[in-house]
Amino acid sequence: MAFDKIHRRSAEVYETPVPEKNLSDHELIAATKEGDETAFAEIVNRYRNPITNYLYRFLNDYEEAVDLAQETFVRVYFAIERYHTDYAFSTYIYRIATNLAISEVRKRKRRTLMSLTGLFQSDADDNTEYQPPDTRSLPDADLIDGERDTVIARAIGTLPPKYRVPIILRDIEGRSYEEIATIMELGLGTTKSRISRARGLLREKLKHYF
């Protein structure tokens, strides 16, 4: 049984003193710089679910997502001195998570190069755009929901990272276009068109679910 999936609420989540809850992200960072461990715990508490979900949707692998999400917070912790309040903390942490996720995907690609399938498909990410849509017939109604999620998750996973990042941030995480543009270090126009293109690609792949 995967130990990660035991949902045990630890008492300290509720016992965090009220003041921390009321502080802004920037105030928490400032407190963490001063050496306040509870302030950092509150940052983790605030962002662990969105970051885990974001990475899960990006990688389609829960264990890997939790691993990278933890790594994201470790990076934040060790780079806290270098953090500046130029933009929102959420932008900063999503950017770290995105960079980790993209390098993880590259690592996987390198690994698959050694496999036999790698011989026939040199660049998995770029080819997937031309993947034919899923033409299988619809399953029984009661199976649809569970399977639909799996199929959508898989379809997202086939998008190249440059489309996968913005569409997950927009449609799953609900971040604003402006924030996504900052996270990806792109212009607002480019970001919008990538999201639109990503939706179009998914629409093609998921034809049978509309």
Partner 1 sequence: MNTQREIETEMTQDEREVSRLLGELRRFDAPANFEFGVKARIAAGKPATAAAASGVWLGYMKFVVPAFLLAALGGAMFFGGLAGDADVPAIAEQRVNPEAVEETLPEPVRDEASVAAVTDEPASAATETLPFREGLTPIPAFIATRPAERVVRPIVDTPVTAMPESAGGSVDRALSPAIEVNLPLAPVDYLKKYGIDAAVDGEVWRVASVAAGSPAAAAGLKSGDVIESIGGRKPATNPTFQHSSGPMALVLRDEGSFRIITID
Which is closer to partner 1, CB of 37 or CB of 86? 37
* Dihedral angle, C-alpha 179, 181, 187, 188, nearest 10 °: -60
Token output for 68: 């990278």
Binding piece for partner 1, criterion CB under 8 A, among 23-31, 48-56, 87-95, 121-129: 48-56
196 touches partner 1 (CB under 8 A): yes
Token output for 25: 């992200």
Q: Kindly state the smallest distance separating residue 27's Cβ from partner 1, in Å.
A: 20
Binding piece for partner 1, criterion CB under 8 A, among 19-27, 81-89, 134-142, 194-202: 194-202
CB 133 within 8 A of CB 171: no
Q: Kindly state the smallest distance separating residue 139's Cβ from partner 1, in Å.
A: 17
Total site size for partner 1, rule CB under 8 A: 58
The binder of partner 1 chosen from 69, 101, 165, 184 (CB under 8 A): 69
Sign of CA dihedral 117, 118, 121, 123: positive
Nearest to 57, CA basis, from 130, 196, 161: 161
Residues that bind partner 1 (CB under 8 A): 2-10, 41, 44-45, 48-49, 51-53, 56-57, 62-67, 69-71, 73-75, 77-78, 100, 103, 149, 152-153, 156, 167-168, 170-172, 174, 176-178, 188, 192, 196, 199-200, 202-203, 206, 209-210
